[in-house]
Structure 1
Amino acid sequence: MSKSPSQSPKTMILVDDHAILRAGLKALIQEHQEEFNVVEEASNGAEAIDKIKKIKPDIVLLDISLPDISGLDLIDSIKKWSSNTKILILSMFEDETLIVKALKMGANGFIPKRLAYEELIEALKTVSKAEDVYIPSCLAKTVLRGMLNKDKKTKLSTRESQVLRYTALGYGNKEMAKKLNLSVKTIETYKLRISEKINAQKKSDLVKYAIKEGLLKEEEKIDLSNQEETTS
């Protein structure tokens, strides 16, 4: 079906801290410039909010893991400053808890980075429609499982358990990254996922959970009185 000449392309802001990825996505979107127009880019949350306030774009393509703030935490701010803006979450992680949380917070769709070049345009077309939500078909069962299992016991992956254990022992992100051979950003994202899964608001919540789950040896259990800082 051809596009009506009277319809302007949907304005977009790309929010991701990887310039190369943004360039690739922008090039892909420009192949459909009659439908979508990337008017701005941002590499962190503060920059994104500043530009969203001014432009009020039709769509924000939002990385869930940013250097200064979680993409999840940006959803409320985006909706506050530009209530009609549609939010399509982009992430390298496909955890059911994060996907369900993002949708419940007001995101209009979720696409894994591994599928971005294959499904991005379809996703943008879907979220552009009034009430439509986009989830790749390969993740439909994952999202459904996340919704159905919301009241069941939280289960951490092996890697999440490792990150939680080191966090409870007081290791910093750089130390954990070196020990686990991961990037600092990946460690931060794992900590976000863990906090979301167990509803941790401060570090002491993480430590208590690690103790309860037997992730710390008896001699490693520490005084919780100095663990009241937030998990962010």
Structure 2
Amino acid sequence: MVHALESGARGFVQKRSQPEVLLQAVRAALSGGIYLDPAVAGHLIAPHRGGPGHALYGSEAPRGLTDRERDVFRFIAFGFTNKEIAGKLGVTDKSVETYKARACEKLEIRSRAKIVQYALAQGWFDALKH
């Protein structure tokens, strides 16, 4: 799957995914975004997750991102919605949007697609290769 994304694929949906997931993926691709099936994304993130506020991977903050900003970016890159991210992190949707906006400003990123490109460059999808 990582190779497909690196080669320009706009998303990944499992065959057994619900129709709503396919619709979300198509909408994301049509709007220039990238979509990963939450069932797959959850497996990528869950094994690395500590307690609330814990960074998902390691403790180094790339380019000055806080742990929470980096967590939000990872969840976005793996295809989660702001509402899903809020539930996973135990914060409000508004807080997720604030963390996203701050990280986007720091990194000069303007779209979810660019967040995924950033994630690829950071090696956040490397777990998929194994």
Shorter-chain TM range is 0.3 to 0.5
Structure with higher strand content? 1
- TM-score, normalized by length of structure 1? 0.28
- TM-score, normalized by length of structure 2? 0.48
Structure with higher helix content? 2
Using CA pairs under 8 Å that are at least 6 residues apart, name the structure with larger relative contact order, 1 or 2.
Answer: 2
Find the structure with the greater CA-based Rg: 1
